């Protein structure tokens, strides 16, 4: 049977009137015990008023901006005489305070309360990963005391009452179980009944859960943002006020979308990362941090620091990969005749002390193609609005060294013979592997070639070497049946992978580029035309 009950403002620790800054319910809402009804704010603190009973809201007697005091009517509630509350997902999400042991209760003066770890849903000890309070802190109801982390989830333990922290009984790194003491609180009054449930549950927040990507919104004006109408508890509002966070910009992942302390912390962290670089390198991206994993849990490990080259080239590769919209065009070039020519002249090169590999022919064919497609031999200027076309043909060649990838530059490739190039390529590769390259040796390329042809593979997606706008990847050639003049003939085919900056080069242009390059490679005499 339904009965109508009035819910009044409880003892709020002052006889003064306080402001109603948030009303979370509407007539017709079905609420459960401890659902926040309104938020009150005095000069010193703000606090949520939770519902002591469950039922359906018949009428709401207050609105934002009203002033109320202890005993003021908040709502009329149609309550069910018989409780039929079922265990549901909402129960798991319910934000409940920690358990309390009253040490020296007095009627209305001061008392010391021991706050215990609530029922954390496991008998195992879990880690204390954060202690949010220190001795002397004045805390209000729902302020986070500590954060616990198990294998599956992390959870804040909120304060069940207001008071001053007399002693903190746990440290970061401790392991605690349900009912372990957390803090001793000096309180001015005994805890109110509605804030000391018999078997409290903790709110679980999945470890992987992140707020949705926020826009930068840390308020820089002197005035605090008006957070009155958002769904957040007093501790969260206080933190937001301190940090100047506009809570309208923060996504809440608490019960009914309520904003939690963690949501505010994550939001501020994301904004700071955007402003200061962080993992996204100042690119305005809110990328999640890579997980920190102790691999020793799974087996024996050895730590090997990355080489200096890997660290430097890694940062550049990451920037280029993220900032350049890449597309890779794959194609094949028939190099049967080229290979015959190369083999015929290989011994000549060897006599002079160097190797004549397909790469030098590819370099020459690339330069002839760049001349036909000048926008590929180019860079975007700093504004990103102009293309700088280069009238020189300096080709960067990716060289694999024991310490990592380096890209020495062979200058004026258009003005050098195949033999000159073969000799120079041999020399710079050696210099690169002996760590003998200077900074100048690696500057000024207008286009880069990365050849894995000496190793293996049928294609890959090379990363454009900024400020260039394209790069050619070359894989290992192989004999393939090619349909020519009504029959299949064996031809030596060279796989080409042409990655380009789509802001500068479009797909059709890329396809024409690789087609033209294929023509050059299939008959080197075309280079001279
Ligand atoms: N198809 C078939 N065979 C090829 C080939 C290809 N595309 N390219 C080279 N070869 C052959 C060569 O002819 C040579 O064989 P022979 O000795 O019988 O003539 C053999 O493979 C080894 O060549 P090489 O690799 O020593 O010489 P190269 O001129 O082709 O390359 C260099 C020089 C410095 C580019 C290369 O040694 C190198 O470091 N490549 C790796 C570049 C790299 O790591 N790129 C990845 C960047 S993205 O991470």
- 324-528 maps to CATH 3.30.559.10: yes
Dihedral angle over CA of 271, 275, 281, 284, nearest 10: 70
pLDDT band of 222, cuts 50, 70, 90:
very low
Q: Among candidates 495, 474, 526, 525, which has minimal Cα distance to 341?
A: 525
Q: Among candidates 475, 412, 416, 406, which has minimal Cα distance to 446?
A: 412
Nearest CA to ligand 1 atom 19: 357
pLDDT digits (tens, 9 = 90+) for 168-211: 999 988 999 988 999 998 886 444 433 333 333 333 333 323 33
Under a CB-based contact definition with an 8 Å cutoff, are residues 5 and 58 in contact?
no
Q: Look-up: residue for tokens 């805890």?
A: 191
Q: Among candidates 239, 187, 202, 197, which has minimal Cα distance to 218?
A: 239
For residue 245, what pLDDT is reported? 87
Share of the chain above pLDDT 90, in %: 46
- Residue 37 DSSP label: E
Min mean pLDDT across 193-202, 211-220, 252-261 is at: 211-220
Whether the pLDDT of residue 515 is over 80: the answer is yes
**Max Cα-Cα span within the chain:** 105
pLDDT digits (tens, 9 = 90+) for 332-355: 999 999 999 999 999 999 999 999
For residue 226, what pLDDT is reported? 59
For residue 215, what pLDDT is reported? 30
- Per-domain boundaries in the chain: 3-103, 111-202, 234-299, 324-528
Q: Mutation test of ligand 1: which of 451, 455, 460 has the most ligand atoms closer than 8 Å to its C-beta?
A: 451
Fold of 234-299: Dihydrolipoamide Transferase (4.10.320)
Ligand 1 atom closest to the Cα of residue 399 is: 39
> Cα of 263 to ligand 1 centre, how many Å?
52
Which CATH code is given to the segment(s) 3-103?
2.40.50.100
> Cα of 452 to ligand 1 centre, how many Å?
6
pLDDT band of 279, cuts 50, 70, 90:
very low
**Structure-model confidence comparison of residues 361 and 32, the more confident one:** 361
Q: Look-up: residue for tokens 């962080």?
A: 278
Return the CATH class of domain 111-202: mainly beta
Under a CB-based contact definition with an 8 Å cutoff, are residues 160 and 141 in contact?
yes
d(CA 354, CA 107): 97
Partners of residue 395 on adjacent β-strands: 410, 447
Partners of residue 479 on adjacent β-strands: 492
Partners of residue 33 on adjacent β-strands: none
Classified as helix, coil or strand, 233 is: coil
User: Does residue 502 have an active-site annotation?
Assistant: yes
Rounded to the nearest 10 degrees, what angle do helices 358-372 and 507-522 cross at?
A: 130
CB neighbour burial string for 251-267, b if at least 16 within 10 angstroms, e if fewer: ebbbbeebbbbbbbbbb
- Residue 425 DSSP label: H
pLDDT digits (tens, 9 = 90+) for 128-151: 887 888 888 888 887 888 878 776
Ligand 1 atom closest to the Cα of residue 460 is: 48
Min mean pLDDT across 46-50, 359-363, 459-463 is at: 46-50
Q: What residues are in contact with ligand 1 under a 6 Å CB criterion?
A: 355, 357-359, 397-400, 405, 425, 429, 450-454, 462, 474, 476-477, 494
Under a CB-based contact definition with an 8 Å cutoff, are residues 117 and 99 in contact?
yes
Share of the chain above pLDDT 70, in %: 81
What is the chain's length?
A: 529
For residue 252, what pLDDT is reported? 78
Domains 234-299 and 324-528 share a fold: no
């Amino acid at each position: 049977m339904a009965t109508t009950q009035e819910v009044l403002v409880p003892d709020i620790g002052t006889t003064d009137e306080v402001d109603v800054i948030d009303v979370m319910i509407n007539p017709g809402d079905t609420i459960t015990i401890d659902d926040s009804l309104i938020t009150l704010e005095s000069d010193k603190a703000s606090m949520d008023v939770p519902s002591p009973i469950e039922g359906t809201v018949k009428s709401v007697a207050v609105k934002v901006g009203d002033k109320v005091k202890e005993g003021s009517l908040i709502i009329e509630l149609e309550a069910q005489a018989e409780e039929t509350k079922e265990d549901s997902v909402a129960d798991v999400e319910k934000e409940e305070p920690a358990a309390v042991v009253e040490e020296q209760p007095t009627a209305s003066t001061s008392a010391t309360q021991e706050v215990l770890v609530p029922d954390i849903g496991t008998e195992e000890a879990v880690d204390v990963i954060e202690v949010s309070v220190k001795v002397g802190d004045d805390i209000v109801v729902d302020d986070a005391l500590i954060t616990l982390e198990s294998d599956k989830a992390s959870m804040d333990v909120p304060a069940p009452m207001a008071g001053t922290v007399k002693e903190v009984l746990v440290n970061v790194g401790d392991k605690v179980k349900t009912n372990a003491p957390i803090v001793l609180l000096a309180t001015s009054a005994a805890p109110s009944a509605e804030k000391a449930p018999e078997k409290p549950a903790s709110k679980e927040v999945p470890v992987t859960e992140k707020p949705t990507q926020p826009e930068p919104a840390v308020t820089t004006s002197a005035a605090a943002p008006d957070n009155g109408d958002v769904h957040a508890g007093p501790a969260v509002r206080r933190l937001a006020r301190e940090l100047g966070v506009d809570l309208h910009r923060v996504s809440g992942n608490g019960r009914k979308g309520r904003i939690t302390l963690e949501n505010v912390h994550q939001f501020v962290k994301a904004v700071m990362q955007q402003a200061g670089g962080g993992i996204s390198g100042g690119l305005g991206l809110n990328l999640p941090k890579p997980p920190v994993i102790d691999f020793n849990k799974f087996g024996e490990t050895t730590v090997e620091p990355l080489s200096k080259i890997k660290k430097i080239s890694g940062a550049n590769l990451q920037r280029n990969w993220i900032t350049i919209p890449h597309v890779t065009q794959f194609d094949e070039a028939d190099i049967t005749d080229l290979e015959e020519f190369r083999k015929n002249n290989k011994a000549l090169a060897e006599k002079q002390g160097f190797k004549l590999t397909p790469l030098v022919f590819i370099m020459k064919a690339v330069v002839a193609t760049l001349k036909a497609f000048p926008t590929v031999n180019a860079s975007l200027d700093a504004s990103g609005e102009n293309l700088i076309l280069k009238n020189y043909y300096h080709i960067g060649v990716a060289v694999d060294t024991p310490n990592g990838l380096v890209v020495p530059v062979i200058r004026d490739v258009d003005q050098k013979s195949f033999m000159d190039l073969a000799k120079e390529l041999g020399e710079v590769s050696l210099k690169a592997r002996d760590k003998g390259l200077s900074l100048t040796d690696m500057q000024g390329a207008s286009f880069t070639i990365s050849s894995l042809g000496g190793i293996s593979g049928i294609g890959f997606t090379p990363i454009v070497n900024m400020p260039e706008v394209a790069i050619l990847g070359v894989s290992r050639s192989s004999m393939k049946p090619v349909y020519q003049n009504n029959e299949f003939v064996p031809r030596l085919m060279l796989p080409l992978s042409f990655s380009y900056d789509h802001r500068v080069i479009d797909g059709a242009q890329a396809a024409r580029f690789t087609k033209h390059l294929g023509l050059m490679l299939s008959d080197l005499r075309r280079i001279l035309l």
